[in-house]
Amino acid sequence: MPQIRPIKDLRDTTEISRLCHKIKEPIFITKNGYGDMVVMSIQTYEMTMAKLDLYQKLSEAEEEVNSGKELMDAEVVFDKLRKKYVS
- Residue 87 reports pLDDT greater than 80: no
Residue-range domain boundaries for the chain:
3-40, 44-85
d(CA 7, CA 37): 9
CA-based nearest residue to 16, from 32, 33, 29: 29
Under 8 Å between Cβ of 46 and 24? no
Per-residue pLDDT, averaged over 48-56, amounts to: 97
- Residue 69 reports pLDDT greater than 90: no
For 23-35, write each residue's pLDDT tens digit. Answer: 999 999 999 999 9
For 7-17, write each residue's pLDDT tens digit. Answer: 999 999 999 99
Residue 71's φ and ψ, nearest 5 degrees, are -110, 155
Under 8 Å between Cβ of 30 and 7? yes
How much is the pLDDT for 72? 86
How much is the pLDDT for 1? 84
